[in-house]
Amino acid sequence: MTVSGQCSPEFDELRTLFEQNLTSGEELGASMVIDIDGEIAVDLWGGYIDSERTRPWEPDTITNVWSSTKTVTSLAVLMLVDRGLLDVHAPVAKYWPEFAANGKEHIELRHLLSHTSGVSGWEPPFGLDDLYDWESASARLAAQTPWWEPGTASGYHAQNFGQLLGEVVRRVTGKTLAQFIAEEIAGPLNADFQLGARETDWPRIADVIAPPPLPFDLTTLPEDNLLRRTLGSPLLEAEAANTAPWRRADLGAYNGHANARSLARIMSVIPRGGTVDGITLLSPATIDLIFQEQSNGPDKVLGVPLRFGIGYGLPNQLGVPYIPDERICFWGGWGGSMVVMDVDRRMTITYAMNKMGTGLVGSARSEAYLRTIYGLING
């Protein structure tokens, strides 16, 4: 299997692993980038965009990157914090008054950004058609009661992260989240990233290939189980990402369309101190906010130990042992995509693929790539 792109010699072992995964079929098609202070040390792609293996993964191939989308959504919100339009310690209701209903008046913006708000999903019944209706989906969340005491623990806001934060963005800017990202982030940086995807771009999208099914049936869990409540409303099948309604929607939790190159272009703003090629999106003070720990312990939804700052995951050796315990923030997507922002090394690592592995945040493949990268860096 031919791997295209460039790779600095010090990362030859990573290129070999990538090539092996493509050759063995562990990968179908994928891309990977390592940006070190604006210098591209790795920019690799290969494989196919279709399961029939008839169409090669090209430099401009994009795919649905699932929850790696959340890294860009958080960036959008932090940009508004940086501009003084939002305050992470202010109640969400300051910007979205209806959200104060049913005991949510004291939930702060930082609680949404750190998955600690207690509002980790929609009350059922709630289906895909409901997900695509922005006004109704926001109103439903505004009316809900928190499922646990806000601020006391994280519970991964897997599906509604973009709805909650996107509504705040809309209230203070008058722009949809998709519009804000297009005009204020992707456009200025010339980054090939969209929430959803324009129909003219559909031919270059690599459809996602669903992962193996979960080892249990969500619907058999008790109705008050937080994993069931969060992931079961709507009960999402991966193939939904290949449909027209999904691509036309504004889902800041998980319908970003990108590749490793565009994710790195955008998210390198954090390791590079807030500025990319003369375009400043964040100040160092706002970047410091990211590393203010908001929770550290078993996540109420995923059940694994996680540590959250403001907007991003932070290293936790029990839950994510392959992320070094350093000044790093990160997040990944269902099936494997990954964004790692290593501030001390001014390094950004990104990975996007179409064949999904097991795992809601990353996969065994992304773990192997990251272990290889840090093994090479640390000697």
Could you write out the DSSP letters of every residue in 267-307? HTTTTTTTEETTEE---HHHHHHHTS--EEEE-TTT-SEEE
Are 263 and 71 a contacting pair, CB within 8 Å? Answer: yes
Q: What is the torsional sign of CA 197, 99, 121, 223? A: negative
Query: Any residues with CB less than 8 A from the CB of 321 and at least 6 apart, and which?
Result: none
| Spatial separation of the C-alpha atoms in residues 314 and 265, rounded to whole Å | 21
Cis link prior to 234 (omega < 30° from 0)?
yes
- CATH assignment of the domain containing 247: 3.40.710.10
| Cross-strand pairs, 42 | 7, 34
pLDDT at residue 120, as a whole number: 98
DSSP 37-96: TTEEEEEEEEEBSSTTS-SBPPTT-EEE-GGGHHHHHHHHHHHHHHTTS--TTSBGGGT-
Are 230 and 158 a contacting pair, CB within 8 Å? Answer: yes
Catalytic residues: 67
β-strands 29-36, 347-353 pairing: antiparallel
pLDDT at residue 160, as a whole number: 98
Domain count, the chain: 1
Residue with token string 């390094």 = 347
Dihedral, 31, 34, 38, 44 alpha carbons, nearest 10: -40
pLDDT at residue 367, as a whole number: 98
Per-position pLDDT tens, the chain of length 379? 789 999 999 999 999 999 999 999 999 999 999 999 999 999 999 999 999 999 999 999 999 999 999 999 999 999 999 999 999 999 999 999 999 999 999 999 999 999 999 999 999 999 999 999 999 999 999 999 999 999 999 999 999 999 999 999 999 999 999 999 999 999 999 999 999 999 999 999 999 999 998 878 898 999 999 999 999 999 999 999 999 999 999 999 999 999 999 999 999 999 999 999 999 999 999 999 999 999 999 999 999 999 999 999 999 999 999 999 999 999 999 999 999 999 999 999 999 999 999 988 999 999 999 999 999 999 8
Are 353 and 25 a contacting pair, CB within 8 Å? Answer: no
Main-chain phi, psi angles of 180, to 5 degrees: -60, -45
pLDDT in tens, 284-294: 999 999 999 99
Main-chain phi, psi angles of 347, to 5 degrees: -120, 140
pLDDT at residue 265, as a whole number: 98
Residue with token string 């996680």 = 306
Are 66 and 85 a contacting pair, CB within 8 Å? Answer: no
The strands making up 338-342's β-sheet, listed across from edge to edge, are: 3-7, 39-47, 29-36, 347-353, 338-342, 328-332, 313-314, 305-308, 295-298
Q: What is the torsional sign of CA 67, 249, 82, 99? A: negative
CA 37, 84, 286 angle in degrees (round to 5)? 30
Are 70 and 255 a contacting pair, CB within 8 Å? Answer: no
Q: How far apart are the first and last CA of the chain?
A: 28
pLDDT in tens, 195-230: 999 999 999 999 999 999 887 889 899 999 999 999
| Spatial separation of the C-alpha atoms in residues 344 and 323, rounded to whole Å | 14
Residue with token string 């494997």 = 336
Range of the domain at 133: 3-378
- DSSP, collapsed to helix, strand or coil, labels residue 4 as strand
Structure tokens at 65: 């990157």
